[in-house]
Amino acid sequence: MRRWLGALALAGAVTVLLAGCLQPHGADGDLVDDWPAMRAPALFVPATDTCLPRITPVVQASTYETVDCARNHLAEAIHVGTIGGLPAGPRPEPGSPALRTARAECDQRAREVLGGDWHSARLTLNIALPSATAWDGGARWFRCDLSETDSIDNTRPVNRTGSLRGAMIGDSPLIHRCFDPKLIGENLNYMAPVLCTEPHRAEFVGVYVERDMSWAQFTAAPDQAHRRCMALIAAFAAVPNNSDLPYRAGSIYYPPSKREWEEGDRGVRCFLWSDDRKLTRSMRGVGPQGLPAI
C-alpha cells in the first residue's frame, strides 16, 4: 500500500512539474507521511471476574461470550494468568510442569476469591487454554473457571445465579457437612447430603494433599489414603489417633479425577464413616466419649 501510494505521489509531482503549476498552499507533495503507522494486531485475551454461559477447555475469540453474574451461568472466570517459559511448540498437556504451575495459581486464586478451600464444597475448578491457532500465534494465557456442582458424586457443573466471591465464608450451603451414604452391597453408591441433626453415617472432615505419588501409585495404595484420612478424622473429632481409632470410625475418601490429578490437583476429600451406628450430631470436637470405641 505504501509503495503504491509513494509511486502515485511521485507521478503526480512529475505531472505538476511538467505542467508548470504550483502546489496548493499547505501541501507538501508527499502523501506517504500523512498516513499513520499500522498498529500491530493485538492477541485476544479473555476477561477475568466475569461469568460464562458455557464451559469449554479451549477458548476461541470467535465464540467468546460472557453474561452478567446475576443471570444463569455455568462458570465464573476468577483469574487469567500467563504461562511462561514456553516460547514455541504445542500447548501444554496434562502432567506438564507448565500446566501444574497454572493449576496451582488457579487453586490459590480460588481460595482467595471463595474465602476457603474449594475442595471442601460443591465446587469444581477447571483450566481453559487458547486454541491451537492462537497458541501458535503467541497466546500464552490460561483462565481459571470456578463452577458449582450438583453433589460430591456428580461434579458436573450446574447453572447458578450470583458470583461465587466469598461463597465459603460463614454458613454456606455449598460446604460439605453430613451425609447418609447409600450402599449397594458393600459398595458405596452415592452420598446423600442431610442435616447433621438428622440420622446419618458420614461427615466431611477435611482435605489432605498427596504430593509425591503418580496416579497409578495412588490408585494402587488405597491403604495410604485411608491412613491419611483417619488422621484427619482423629483431629476433627478430637480423639487419639491410636489403635482404638478403627473401632471409633472408618473412612470414605474422594480423590480428584485422573485428569485433575495429572494437572496437579492432589486434594483428597476425607469423610468420617460410621458403619455400626447412626449419628445425630456433628462429630467435630466430640472427644472419646462422643465417639466411643465399639
Domain boundary among 155, 170, 185: 170
pLDDT of residue 36: 57
Is position 35 within any domain?
A: no
Which grid cell sits at 185?
452391597
DSSP conformation letters of 133-150: HHHHTT--EEEEEEEEBS
Determine contact, residues 106/263, Cβ cutoff 8 Å: no
pLDDT of residue 87: 67
pLDDT of residue 89: 79
Are 24 and 56 found together in one domain? no
Give the span between the Cα atoms of 223 and 266, in whole angstroms.
16
SS3 state at 270: strand
Total domains in the chain come to: 3
Buried b or exposed e, range 146-163, using 16+ CB within 10 angstroms: bbbbeebeebebeebeeb
pLDDT of residue 190: 95
Range of the domain at 65: 46-170
Is position 70 within any domain?
A: yes
pLDDT of residue 129: 95
Give the span between the Cα atoms of 176 and 267, in whole angstroms.
15
Residue ranges of the chain with per-residue pLDDT less than 50 = 1-25, 31
Domain boundary among 108, 136, 170: 170
Are 277 and 202 found together in one domain? yes
CB neighbour list of residue 115: distance below 8 Å, 6 or more residues apart: 166, 167, 168, 169
Prediction pTM value: 0.83
Angle (nearest 5°) at CA 59 between 153 and 129: 75
Are 124 and 199 found together in one domain? no
pLDDT of residue 29: 53
- The chain-wide mean pLDDT, for the chain, equals 87
Domain boundary among 153, 170, 187: 170
The per-residue pLDDT for range 48-103, each reduced to its tens digit, is: 999 999 999 999 999 999 999 999 999 999 999 999 877 677 888 878 899 999 99
Is position 33 within any domain?
A: no
The per-residue pLDDT for range 95-115, each reduced to its tens digit, is: 889 999 999 999 999 999 999
Is position 40 within any domain?
A: no
127: nearest Cα among 106, 110, 113, 109: 106
pLDDT of residue 26: 52
DSSP conformation letters of 175-211: B--EEEEEEETTEEEEEEEE-TTS-BSEEEEEEEE--
